[in-house]
Each structure stands twice: as structure tokens, then as C-alpha cells.
Amino acid sequence: MTLFDGVYPFYLQQRKAAVFNISTIIVIVVFLTLACSFLLITPGIRGRARLYWTLRVLLSLFVGMVIVVVQFTGDWETGWVQANTSYKSFSHVQVNADIGLHIGLAGLNVTLRGNPVEQINETINYNEHFPWNFGADYDRSYSEGLQKGLPSPILYVAEKFSTQSPCAVHRQYRIAGHYASAMLWVAFCTWVISNILFSMPVLIYGGYMLLVTGAFMIFSLLSFATVRNSPMCLIQIGARTLHVAYGGSFWLMLAIGLLCFVVGVTIVAMHHLSLDLLKTFFDLRQDKAEECQEMPEVVINSHYVSKGLPPSQPSEINGI
């Protein structure tokens, strides 16, 4: 890296958001479109069934959206620290900045935001992504960051997760994220199957598939949590230490997994204890008045009765 008028070069590059990216937005838009399409037809549903249909469909769409969205979010683990730190390599210039670390299933984001943003005649506001999913080369992304001249705090944090780092956490995060992602895709498939079973309708089997969906969600969390078994190196920035903790996506997935368990257990229990109530909620209970409805009255023509012909022989009368 060479100097240009005493300043180290910084090149423009494509940046990813720490939590939301294009894939996340596309998934949210797709599910919101499905929800809005359903809301347009709800006026055609009569009575209390409208409320039941709305609750079931919106809840199901929300569960499916969360399962897919968390695949692309970057806040399974997060951490922030504010510190005075050097801004560029081979320079003693110090800046006050907020440094953030956002870890997802497919990689991590390192955020550097000046406090204030404008310092040393520059705008300090960076958000860099380093992927480690299968098919991506983390070390190559890190090397490209070196060539681009990224700020020192970003490179320092990213170096902790490289394959050459003494911390040796790259392999654990990569494998844990891979298996957690695979289990979430299985959970999405079982979610689709549960909706198909509810629409057939086979309610108790739909409840069983919801339990399986919740189980795979919990398995994905356990898979990601295995990285805690590896000792994490201290990320010392200036005089402060950056600590990470489970983020919003982790806790959201835990809540949705428990919700699937609760709903699945409730459906199975109601199937055995109160089947009529369950059918009412799924708009499957037939009206008892229709079930007990008598056969319509048979009107006998008095002309045939006067001739002494039995009413059970209309075919002979027509043949005369």
C-alpha cells in the first residue's frame, strides 16, 4: 500500500447492511404480498369464520417468513463497543468511534461509525461484510479488504475470524452456521407440509408437523450455540473490549419455535379432548341443523289416491 499525498487510499466498494439486505427485503415483500392478497378476500368470509381464517393465515405466514428471513440476517450474535482507536495503518491518528460486530449464519458484518461521523476531514461510516458460507472464501474477502485499505478496526476484528487466526473460531462458526441453515430449510419444508395437512383437512397430522417444525427450529439454535464451546479470543480495541451476545434473530427464532410447539400441542390436545371446538376454529364443523334435517315431505296427488292407486307406483300411472 502506497501513500498518495500523505493519505492512504480508500476505494469505493459495495456494502451490505448489518441486519437487512436485499434477500431479506425480497422475502418480506413476498410474504407481505401473500398476506395482503388474503386480506382482500376476507370480506367474502361470513361470521366468526372470518376471524378464525385471518388469525390462522396471518400467523402461519408470519412463521414461514421468520424461518426464511433469519437465513439472511446478520444479528444471530451482536456486539458493540465505543473506543478511541487508530483509524489507519501506520498512523498515530486516533478517532472516537462505535465498532459493531454482527454475526450471521453465512458470515459477519463489521461496522465502524465515527462519533461524530465527520472526523479528521473524513466521513467515518463503514459496514463491511465477510462471508464464510460454503462456496465463499473468507480469507480472500479479508485480503481484498487489506488491498482496499479498510480502516484498521475493521481489519482487526475481521482478522479474528480468519482461518489463520490463533483464535481458531472460523471453522466452528462456518460449520455451525451451515447446519443451522440446513435445519431451518427442513423446518420450512415441514411448515409447508403442515399447511397442506390443515387444508386437506387432517388436523391432528398438521399439529404433529407443527411440532416437527418447532423441533427443527430448536435444533438450529442448538447447532449455532455450539460455537460457545470454543473459547473466544478477546477483541481488544483501544482500552475497551468488544463482547458479543445472542442477537435478535436468535431470540426471535427461539420464540417462534416455542410458539410452534404450543400451537402443535394445543391442536393435538383439542383433537382428543374437544374435537368440535377444533373443527369450529378450522371452519370444518357442519351445522347441526343440517345434520338432523329430515327428508322433505312427499306431496301425494289426490287424483291418484281417489283411484285407489298406491303412491309408490308412479311409473305404472305414467305408462297408461
Within-domain flag for 160 = yes
For residues 53 and 31, state if they share a domain.
yes
Q: Average pLDDT over the chain, rounded to whole?
A: 82
Most distant CA atoms of the chain, gap in Å:
123
Q: First-to-last CA distance in the chain?
A: 113
Within-domain flag for 93 = yes
Residues 22, 133 contacting (CB under 8 angstroms): no
For residues 85 and 156, state if they share a domain.
yes
Residue 199 sits at the vertex; the CA angle it makes with 193 and 204, to the nearest 5 degrees, is 70
Kindly list the distances between the CA atom of residue 287 and the CA atoms of 49, 52, 55, 202, 290, in Å, as whole numbers in the listed order.
13, 17, 22, 20, 5
Residues 150, 198 contacting (CB under 8 angstroms): no
Neighbours of 163 (CB within 10 A): 13
Within-domain flag for 246 = no
| Tens-place pLDDT, residues 161-191 | 988 888 888 888 999 999 999 999 999 999 9
Within-domain flag for 282 = no
For residues 95 and 151, state if they share a domain.
yes
Q: How far apart are CA 73 and CA 19, in angstroms?
A: 5
19 contact partners, CB below 8 Å, separation of at least 6: 73, 74, 75, 102, 248
Within-domain flag for 128 = yes
What phi and psi values does residue 42 have, to the nearest 5 degrees?
Answer: -60, -30
| CA 59 to chain CA mean position, Å | 13
Q: Is the pLDDT of residue 130 over 80?
A: yes
The reported pLDDT for the residue numbered 23 is 82
Within-domain flag for 210 = no
The reported pLDDT for the residue numbered 317 is 42
For residues 82 and 149, state if they share a domain.
yes
| Tens-place pLDDT, residues 192-237 | 999 999 888 888 999 999 999 999 999 999 999 988 777 778 888 8
E strand or H helix at 114 = strand 107-119
Q: Is the pLDDT of residue 156 over 60?
A: yes
For residues 28 and 104, state if they share a domain.
no
Residue 268 vs residue 317, higher pLDDT: 268
For residues 93 and 49, state if they share a domain.
no
E strand or H helix at 123 = strand 122-131
Q: How many domains does the chain have?
A: 2
Within-domain flag for 51 = yes
The reported pLDDT for the residue numbered 264 is 93
Range of the domain at 53: 20-72
For residues 41 and 95, state if they share a domain.
no
Within-domain flag for 6 = no
For residues 65 and 108, state if they share a domain.
no
For residues 30 and 110, state if they share a domain.
no
For residues 83 and 103, state if they share a domain.
yes
For residues 93 and 60, state if they share a domain.
no
| Tens-place pLDDT, residues 278-315 | 888 887 765 443 444 444 555 555 655 555 555 555 44
For residues 88 and 161, state if they share a domain.
yes
Boundary-marking domain end, from 56, 72, 88: 72
What phi and psi values does residue 60 have, to the nearest 5 degrees?
Answer: -65, -45
**Cell of residue 206, nine digits:** 398438521
